[in-house]
Each structure stands twice: as structure tokens, then as C-alpha cells.
Structure 1
Amino acid sequence: MKQDGSVTLFNQWRKKMRAVVIHQAGAPQQLAMEERPVPQPKPGWSVIRIRAFGLNHAESITRRGGSPSVQFPRVIGIEAVGEVAATQSPALTVGERVTTLMGELGRQFDGSYEEYVLVPDTQIYPLPLSGDWAQLATIPESGYTAWGSIKNCQIVAGQSVLVRGGTSTVGIAAIQLMTAMGVHVTATTRRAEKSAFLKRQGAEAVVLDVAGKLQTTANYDAIIEFVGEVTLLDSLTHLKHPGGYLNVTGELADQWTLDGFSSFNIPSGSYLTSFQSTDINRQWLAEMMQLIADKHLEFPIGAQFTLDEIVAAHELLDAGTADGKIVVTV
């Protein structure tokens, strides 16, 4: 049923939903299942029926109290895929497949660890891809963060690019996307046994990272730095110059500043930049979705859980041993 052609009266048949709520920071056991009212649409905000979402390192940080701007109680979760359940926006259609990610999702307002989520219309994006919900949930945050980093570095076919932190979910996405573009990709890992996995994702070569030092003398047209500040200086020594780009994207080592850094560490004539996925460029997101569709890319699922298994999912997230995205179906 619809009211005024726009608002689905889903509240007539579903008044309550399950939501995973954090009341105080701590271990995965702080993730508590609760029953809550289903949110209602309002001007500028629509309701998404969540079908699945991927887990992110940032959510572990928030759960442990590492995000000072996040006030508990809060439903965390910075990305989701699903369907429009109720809307007052003429630009959205009830039942269409969509994704939402970043902005203040799961931070200043409740996020994806629930069955329905109320999201600003400006943070709802088309999901023009087929496939099951679990597979689609591997894409939004990892894919867009990787794609934004690629765009920042102005990477084109034929270049040689190093992905530092290649086994991370965003590293895997970057490898697959650039391989599909015709880029020569080298990936790094701290564990030699991960080399075969990285090559299956499309990496032409794998370099070991030993105590923050790459075991190679090679230089690259671009470097996407997902580990962060702890390896930044070493990465800069492997950047071609002039004209090379190094993009800092991730902080997998949980270090946010670098003592003793000098601008003269940047090779002469090359560029150091950064990318954050907080604000979404709709054109870039659409380009990424099109590349995934055209090349039939599938980012690997490291493990799959249900919403009832969210504690176990976070325990695996903290362990860091999943080869691919940890996905939760709802």
C-alpha cells in the first residue's frame, strides 16, 4: 500500500524491528540485540530495508570507544545494501535496490546494524547490480574507498601501482578494480602465505612487508597506502619521480600522526595526497559500479553471518584473519 503515491504504509504490518545497540564501549559482547520501533520516513529522509552489510575496521574502533564524536547508545555500521522501504522523495522508488554508506551513518545517527534504517535522501545511491545480497554487501565502502584512491592518483592503464596493505578488504578491491583497468598491480603483505591469495585477486607481483620495510628496490608510478603513517616514509622511497602519486587512504595500524615527517620526504616532483570516503562523489560511485558490472568483478566474502551472530562477526573482525569481507545478512 502507498499513501499519496510515495509513502509505503509498511508500519501497518511491521511496527517493531531488531537492532544491535551499543550502550558502552568495549568488547564485541557490548553489541546487544534489542527490539525497537521501525523508523518512519520524514522530509529529506527515507527508510531502507537492510538486506546485508559489510563490517569495517572503523566499526571496531568505534565499538571500543575510539570515535570521540560518537555518543552511546548507538547502532553502528557505516554501510548497507537493501531496498527503499518508505520515502517521501519523488527521486526514490519503493522497492528499488540501493546502497548507503558513510556520511554520519552509524555515527551521528543510527547505522546499518538493524533491520530498517532512516537515512538522509542525499546518502542513498542506486545499486544497479545483480547478484545476491551478501555479494553486493562486499562492494560499497571497500569498493568506493579503493576507487576514490585510484581517482586521486590519476591512475591509467599500463601504469605500475603498488597497493600497500593488499590483504585488507579495500586493498583487495583496489587490486581487482585496477587489474580490470589494465594496470600492473603489485600488492604487499606481511605474510608470505597470502601471496597466492593476492595473485588470485589479480596482483601480478607480491612484495613482503617485513617490519615496515618493503623487500624490494622497485619504484612505482603510484602507491596506494592502506597501512598508514607507520609505513608512509618507507612507501615514499618506492615512488617514481617526477610525477608519481602516493595516496594515503587507510590507517590499518591505528596510528594517525607521524612524528618527524618533513615535506622533503616527498620525492622531488611527485605528489603526496589522501582520500577519505566521508563525502561520496556520485559520478565516481557510478563509474565504479559500471566497471564492476562490465568486468563481472566479485570481491571475496571472508565469512558470512546473520544479524543474530553479530558478536561472533566482530570477534572475527578483531582477529583480522578473514580473507575478504565479513558480511552480515539481515
Structure 2
Amino acid sequence: MVKAVRIHAYGGPEQLRYEDIEIGAPGPGEALVRHRAIGLNFADTHNREGRYPLPSLPHVLGGEAAGVVEAIGPGVTEVKIGDRVAYAAGGPNFPPGAYAEARLFDASRLVLLPDEIDDITAAAILTKGLTAQYLLKSVYPVQAGDTIVVHAAAGGVGLLLSQWADHLGAQVIGVVGSPEKAELAKANGCQHVLISGREDIAQRVRTLTAGEGVPVVFDAVGRDTFEASLKCLRPRGTLVSFGTASGPVPPFDLFLLNKMGSLTITSAAFAWFVRSRAELLSRAADLFNVILTGAVKAAVHQRFALADAAEAHRALESRRTRGASVLIP
């Protein structure tokens, strides 16, 4: 038996229950990972609410964690007992389940951790860092000299995305929700920082780009920023939507994209960019490289006990958090 946080019904943070569960022994291709740190992501709240439905109820939440392999099942060659590993769940074959002291996981989806990256950092960055990697390298390959807009620039993905884009030679316009978060964004790769609700974001972006607009906007906020994001784009620009923290984007007339300059919108989901183990390891190696060389710094700003997961969700949803957060079993 291990302690875990799971839900029995969809709803608010009050649905999170800290309770005992049975996990059993690893089967073929599986490893038993004893968690040392668990990542907290906004997608966890969507699972809790049912916006991203879980395979069944009750179900343990959580999409990423770091820890140590305690046992392996038949046929496992990717890891061995004692290895330090991390994982990022995603897609129907790798469901949530990280909010627990330990869990069984597909060994082919475990990433070996460099000695220089500690468990708390690994749990905080794997999903967020891989997201930043595929956004910048695959969804819209950012080049030196590009000017880009990053919404939620002081959030977990936003801080990594902004630093990495800056490292690639881009000019980053970050959008945040408060002056305190503006200072954090400025210290993490953003050359310009705009505060939502206090200024016309699209107009300011136009001013900063001599009226042209930007080639790409990375938007994890969704409903509240969608219109402004489109207005920030130059002709033939791309809106990359990779989250809906404020709610889903409502239906709109597709022909508006034509009228606004033949714009492109893409919805980039994590699972489709780490489909194979080879792709997962390649992207993880790129992430670890920029962390280990110091080009991108990963800071964990909040730590909560696993038993306090409900409070962690409340803090996340009220935008009281900055950057990355973890749960400690």
C-alpha cells in the first residue's frame, strides 16, 4: 500500500483525497518507481475537473515525477533497479497517476537522470521543459532575430520557454498578470514584459515591432488571450495554442484568419511530440543540455506536501504561484 491523491468524482480541489491505494508488482515492460518529487501542472486541474477526462474513476492525478526504480518486470531493459529516473505522462497509453508515493510505469517511457540534476528539479522541468523544447524546435522553429510573444511568461513553461528563446537569439515579449511576475519574467529571458489587464497587449506589441506584429505567439492561457494573440501576429503569422488556463477558446469564424493576414493556428499537444522512445530521449537530451550548460535555469518556486495537493491546486488556479511547483511525498 502507498499513499496517493486521487479523485472519486470530477470537481474542485475538495475532490482530492489523500488515501491508501494498492499498486502491486510490475508486470512485463513495467517498472516500479518510488517517487521523490512530483511535478504540479495546470493540466492536473483539467483532469480533476473532467475537461481532460481520466480513464476511469477513482483515479490518481498527476502527469510527471522523479524518483528511483525499486523493481522491474519481465523484459525490461531500459532501466535497472537503483536508477534515478523521471517521466512525463501523456496520451491514452500513459495516463496520469503521479500523485502517489510510488507507481508502476512503462519502462520505455522512463528517462535516466544526469547526476547533476536533482530529483526536485527533474520533477519540476520534464513536462514543462519538453513542452518548451517541442514548441521552439518543432511547432514553430524559432530563429535568431525573431521577435516572439509568450503568454504566462512567469509560469512554469513560460519561464523555460522565454529563457530558451532568448538563448536561441530571439527577442521575447512576455505577458504576465502582475508587476511581481513582470520582474520574474524580465530576469528570465524577456526583453519586454507587458501586464495583462493594464495595457492593450496587441497595441503594445505593434508598437514594439514598428507596426508589423510578430511571427509567432505562444499562448497557454486560451479564452482570455485568444483575440489579442491573433491581433499580435504579422501577416502569415502563427498562433501556437498549447493550453487553456482561462478556459477553452470559443468557436469562431475560420475566415477571420484570412482577413487578418492569412494567419495560422495550431493546437500543440504534448503526447504527439514524444510518440516514440527515440523522440522522447532526443528531446530530453536537448533539454538536459541547456540546463546543464546554464543556458536555461530551472527554479522551483513552490513546494507542497503531497497530502496538501488540494491547497496546491487552489494556489495554482488563483495564480498565486510563480514558475514551477512540486509535491513532496
TM-score bracket, normalised by the shorter chain, equals 0.7 to 0.9
Greater mean deviation of Cα atoms: 208-217 or 249-258: 208-217
Aligned partner (choices 108, 113, 121) of residue 107 of structure 2: 121
Equivalent residue number for residue 221 of structure 1: 215
Is structure 2 residue 273 aligned with structure 1 residue 274?
A: no
- Cα drift, residue 78 of structure 1: 0.8
The amino acid of 1:139's aligned partner reads I
Aligned partner (choices 240, 243, 247) of residue 240 of structure 2: 247
- Cα drift, residue 90 of structure 1: 1.5
Greater percentage in helix: 2
1:246, 1:110 → 2: CA distance? 28
Alignment of 1:113-152 (within 5 A): 113-128=99-114, 130-151=116-137, 152=139
- Cα drift, residue 148 of structure 1: 1.4
Is structure 2 residue 38 aligned with structure 1 residue 44?
A: no
Contact 1:213 1:231 in 2 (8 A): no
What are the ranges of 5 or more consecutive residues in structure 1 without an aligned counterpart?
A: 1-15
Equivalent residue number for residue 287 of structure 1: 286
Equivalent residue number for residue 299 of structure 1: 298
- Cα drift, residue 91 of structure 1: 2.0
Equivalent residue number for residue 322 of structure 2: 323
- Cα drift, residue 231 of structure 1: 2.6
Partner secondary structure for residue 98 of structure 2? coil
2:165, 2:134 → 1: CA distance? 12
1:238, 1:159 → 2: CA distance? 14
Question: Could you report, residue by residue, the CA deviation over 1:15-70 in whole angstroms, capped at 9, with x for unpaired residues?
Answer: x3212221122332322222233431111222111111121112112223333344
Aligned partner (choices 174, 189, 198) of residue 187 of structure 1: 174
The amino acid of 1:121's aligned partner reads A
Distance 1:162 1:50, change over 3 A: same
Equivalent residue number for residue 87 of structure 2: 100
1:312, 1:176 → 2: CA distance? 29
2:185, 2:307 → 1: CA distance? 31
Alignment of 1:163-242 (within 5 A): 163-210=150-197, 213-214=200-201, 215-216=203-204, 217=206, 218=209, 219-242=213-236
Distance 1:236 1:26, change over 3 A: closer
After TM superposition, the score normalised by the length of structure 1 is 0.85
After TM superposition, the score normalised by the length of structure 2 is 0.85
- Cα drift, residue 297 of structure 1: 3.2
Greater mean deviation of Cα atoms: 248-257 or 110-119: 248-257
Aligned partner (choices 247, 252, 260) of residue 259 of structure 1: 252
1:211, 1:102 → 2: CA distance? 37
Contact 1:78 1:102 in 2 (8 A): yes
What are the ranges of 5 or more consecutive residues in structure 2 without an aligned counterpart?
A: none
The amino acid of 1:326's aligned partner reads S
Identity over aligned residues, as a percent?
Answer: 26
The amino acid of 1:233's aligned partner reads E
Distance 1:142 1:23, change over 3 A: same
1:249, 1:212 → 2: CA distance? 23
Question: Could you report, residue by residue, the CA deviation over 1:158-196 in whole angstroms, capped at 9, with x for unpaired residues?
Answer: 322111221222111211222222322110123344321
Aligned residue pairs, count: 312
Is structure 2 residue 65 aligned with structure 1 residue 71?
A: no
Greater mean deviation of Cα atoms: 139-148 or 65-74: 65-74
1:236, 1:175 → 2: CA distance? 19
- Cα drift, residue 80 of structure 1: 1.0
- Cα drift, residue 311 of structure 1: 2.4
